[in-house]
Structure formats: structure tokens, C-alpha cells
């Protein structure tokens, strides 16, 4: 197994999002928390949208942490499965000049075989992962058009956007939808100068499902996970967040409809 190199060797990027307003749904915890933090570090005004203000790991809410470090941030309690909540969220961004970057990242995970699908679980997971992204895209794009400002939208997809896993048909179907919401919206919104892309994280150590971060560490310690990931380790939110900054930036001005894998090479198998 090759050694994993963590020290930057090829230089670093210094993103600057001063005067930009970024909404991050699911920004209280996990991947969204790190995305919000990195945009805050890059000078953006960050609006954290989540059901919960408190993070699952750590004790300072994301927006407070950004403010403590000298940034500007706010929290808007939002249930992304409710379109009205998304409208309120996007309106709240007007106070900061309006949303420039909309990140539809909130997600839910429910396991279960196709043979035993519970209709209520089906609705719950589709309402958050698919409907939340669909209306997050729609409401943000309309607001950008109303303000006459271009913008960009980034959705959180998954390995599950392409690949099936046992007992994950519900989750897979929502993430497959995210992929096509991204592509379809990219097609329609290009003429309005709104780019729409997705990031597909691999196995990232968060508490997405309870005990997941420890499970990933345990699998990695047993080599079970490492065998599937060419770069030799599970990912972290810190590995994933820069992809969102790249896609939001002018460096990606000719990129739309893309699904960017950030998975340590997992999907190449
Ligand atoms: P997480 O549980 O740490 O974060 C998800 C956040 O979404 C939480 O803060 C939660 O409160 C919020 N949320 C859930 N339902 C919501 C709702 N209805 N409205 C608003 N907020 C809601 O998990 P994570 O791993 O950071 O997941 C973030 C995204 O990354 C999800 O879309 C997930 O599908 C995706 N993803 C995660 C992994 C992974 O390995 N962790 C891999 C691929 C994709």
C-alpha cells in the first residue's frame, strides 16, 4: 500500500470570495460545516441553513465559529423539504446583497432493501435529498434572475449518484436524481449565466448516519476500506470542501453540468 502524502507539494490556491454571499444547506454539521467554514475563511458572507443549529460533532455552531474568526455569517433554521422554508432562506440572503452561491448539501440517509421499502421512509428521504435540491435550485435561480445577477449552484451528489450498493436503493435513487437535477438545470440555466455543478464525495468521516465516522475508521484500520480506495484512506470534510470553492469560483467559469468526484479514486474500480 502506498504511503499517503498530506503535505502540500504542488502549491496552494487562495480563494477570495469577498463580497459574495453563500448559502450552505446542511451547514451545521459534517461536510456542510467545513464548506461553510472554508467560504467564511475566504471572505464570503455565509448563511448556514439547517434543521439544527448545533453541530453533531463539536460545540460551537458553524456561523458562530465563522464570526469568532472575524467572518460574517448567519444561521437560518430551514427544513429543505419545505419549499416555503427555502423561499424564506433565499429572501434572508437579500439582506446581504442576495445569494451568489447556493450550495444544496443537506442530506438524509435511510437504509433498507427494495423488498421492504417503507413508504414513509421513501418520502422522507426523497423530500430532503431530491426535492430539497430541486427547489433549492429553482428558488435560488429565480432570485438570481430577479436581481439580474449571475450566480452559481452546487449540489452534493454521491458515489450513489452512479453506483448501487446493497440496501441503499432509496438513497441511491435520491442521489441519482441529484445528478440529473444538476445536469438538467445546468442546461436550462446556462443562458442566464448560472452554472450548476455537483460534488460527489466518497466515504467521508462524518456522523451522517450514527456511528459512521467510527465505522469508517474501523473499516480503514482493518484494511477493508483501504482496499477499495486507491488513495488509501477514508476522506474528511476538509478533503471535500475545496471542490465547492473551486466550482463556485471564476476558475470554473467554463464548467457546468459537471459531477466532480472527490473520493480518493474509489469510483475508478
Ligand atoms: P451530516 O449528517 O454530518 O450533515 C448533514 C446535515 O444536513 C446535518 O447538519 C443535518 O441536520 C442537515 N439536514 C438533514 N436534513 C435536513 C433538512 N430537512 N433540512 C435542512 N438540513 C437538514 O452528513 P454529511 O456526511 O456531512 O452529509 C452532507 C451531504 O453529503 C449529504 O447530502 C450526503 O448525502 C452527502 N454525502 C455524504 C457522504 C459521506 O460519506 N459522509 C458521502 C457522499 C455524499
pLDDT per residue over 103-129, tens digit each? 999 999 999 999 999 999 999 999 999
Residue 169: count other Cβ atoms within 10 Å of its Cβ. Answer: 18
Nearest residue to 70 (alpha-carbon basis) of 40, 102, 36: 40
The rounded percent of the chain whose pLDDT value lies above 90 is 87
The rounded percent of the chain whose pLDDT value lies above 70 is 97
pLDDT digits (tens, 9 = 90+) for 61-108: 999 999 999 999 999 999 999 999 999 999 999 999 999 999 999 999
What is the reported pLDDT for 180? 98
In the predicted model, is pLDDT for residue 6 greater than 70? no
Annotate the chain with DSSP letters as a single string: -PPPP-S--S-------TT-EEEEETTTSHHHHHHHHHHHHTT-EEEEEES-SS-SSSSS-HHHHHHHTT-EEEEEE--TT-HHHHHHHHHHHHTTT--SEEEE-------B-GGG--HHHHHHHHIIIIIHHHHHHHHHHHHHHHHT--EEEEEE--GGGT---TTBHHHHHHHHHHHHHHHHHHHHHGGGTEEEEEEEE-SB-S-SSTTHHHHHHHHHHTTTTGGG-TTSS-B-HHHHHHHHHHHHSGGGTT--S-EEEESTTGGG-
**Cβ partners under 8 Å of residue 182, min gap 6:** 155, 157, 196, 197, 198, 257, 259
Does a structural domain hold residue 124?
Answer: yes
**Cβ partners under 8 Å of residue 85, min gap 6:** 78, 79
Cα 247 to ligand 1 centre (Å): 19
Cα 3 to ligand 1 centre (Å): 30
Cα 28 to ligand 1 centre (Å): 9
Residue 27 alpha carbon, nearest atom of ligand 1: 9
Beta-bridged to residue 261, according to DSSP, are: 200
Distance CA 139, CA 120 (A): 26
Cα 6 to ligand 1 centre (Å): 25
Residue 178 alpha carbon, nearest atom of ligand 1: 32
Tell whether the torsion through CA atoms of 155, 190, 152 and 237 is positive or negative: positive
Does a structural domain hold residue 90?
Answer: yes
CATH number at residue 80: 3.40.50.720
What is the reported pLDDT for 8? 64
Residue 159 alpha carbon, nearest atom of ligand 1: 43
Residue 79 alpha carbon, nearest atom of ligand 1: 19
Domain that holds residue 204: 21-264
Q: Output the pTM of the full model.
A: 0.96
Q: How confident is the model at residue 1 (pLDDT cuts 50, 70, 90)?
A: very low
What is the reported pLDDT for 263? 97
Pocket test for ligand 1, best of 106, 155, 171, 263 (most atoms within 8 A of CB): 106
Total tally of structural domains belonging to the chain: 1
Distance CA 229, CA 222 (A): 13
Does a structural domain hold residue 87?
Answer: yes
Cα 266 to ligand 1 centre (Å): 20
Which residues line the pocket of ligand 1, CB cutoff 6 A?
Answer: 25-26, 28-32, 50-52, 56, 78-81, 105-108, 128, 156, 158, 201, 203-204, 206-208
What is the reported pLDDT for 262? 98
Does a structural domain hold residue 9?
Answer: no
In the predicted model, is pLDDT for residue 57 greater than 70? yes
Does a structural domain hold residue 16?
Answer: no
Find the mean pLDDT for residues 187-216.
94
What is the reported pLDDT for 7? 67
State the catalytic residue, choosing from 96, 134, 171, 244.
171
**Do the bridges between strand 194-201 and strand 151-156 make them parallel or antiparallel, or are there none, so unpaired?**
parallel
Tell whether the torsion through CA atoms of 65, 92, 34 and 126 is positive or negative: positive
Q: How confident is the model at residue 13 (pLDDT cuts 50, 70, 90)?
A: confident
Does a structural domain hold residue 12?
Answer: no
Active-site annotation holds for 171 = yes
In the predicted model, is pLDDT for residue 5 greater than 60? no
In the predicted model, is pLDDT for residue 3 greater than 50? no
Does a structural domain hold residue 4?
Answer: no
Does a structural domain hold residue 170?
Answer: yes
Amino acid at each position: 500500500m502506498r504511503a499517503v502524502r498530506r503535505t502540500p507539494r504542488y502549491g496552494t490556491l487562495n480563494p477570495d470570495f469577498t463580497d459574495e454571499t453563500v448559502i450552505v444547506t446542511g451547514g451545521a454539521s459534517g461536510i456542510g460545516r467545513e464548506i461553510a467554514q472554508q467560504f467564511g475563511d475566504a471572505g464570503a458572507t455565509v448563511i448556514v441553513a439547517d434543521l439544527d443549529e448545533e453541530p453533531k460533532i463539536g460545540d460551537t455552531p458553524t456561523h458562530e465559529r465563522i464570526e469568532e474568526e472575524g467572518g460574517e455569517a448567519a444561521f437560518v433554521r430551514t427544513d429543505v423539504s419545505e419549499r416555503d422554508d427555502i423561499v424564506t432562506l433565499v429572501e434572508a440572503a437579500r439582506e446581504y446583497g442576495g445569494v451568489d452561491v447556493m450550495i444544496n448539501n443537506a442530506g438524509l440517509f435511510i437504509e433498507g432493501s427494495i423488498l421492504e421499502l417503507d413508504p414513509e421512509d421513501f418520502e422522507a428521504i426523497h423530500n430532503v435529498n431530491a426535492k430539497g435540491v430541486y427547489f433549492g435550485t429553482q428558488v435560488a435561480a429565480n432570485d438570481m434572475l430577479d436581481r439580474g445577477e449571475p450566480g452559481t449552484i452546487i449540489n452534493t451528489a454521491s458515489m450513489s449518484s452512479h453506483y448501487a450498493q446493497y440496501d441503499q436503493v432509496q438513497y441511491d435513487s435520491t442521489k441519482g436524481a441529484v445528478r440529473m437535477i444538476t445536469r438538467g438545470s445546468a442546461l436550462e440555466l446556462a443562458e442566464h449565466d448560472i452554472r450548476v455543478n455537483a460534488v460527489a464525495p466518497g466515504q467521508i468521516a462524518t456522523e451522517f448516519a450514527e456511528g459512521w465516522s467510527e465505522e469508517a475508521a474501523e473499516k480503514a484500520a482493518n484494511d477493508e476500506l483501504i482496499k477499495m480506495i486507491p488513495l488509501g484512506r477514508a476522506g474528511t470534510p476538509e478533503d471535500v470542501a475545496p471542490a465547492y470553492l473551486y466550482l463556485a469560483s471564476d476558475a470554473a467559469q467554463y464548467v457546468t453540468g459537471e459531477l466532480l468526484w472527490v473520493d480518493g479514486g474509489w469510483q475508478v474500480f
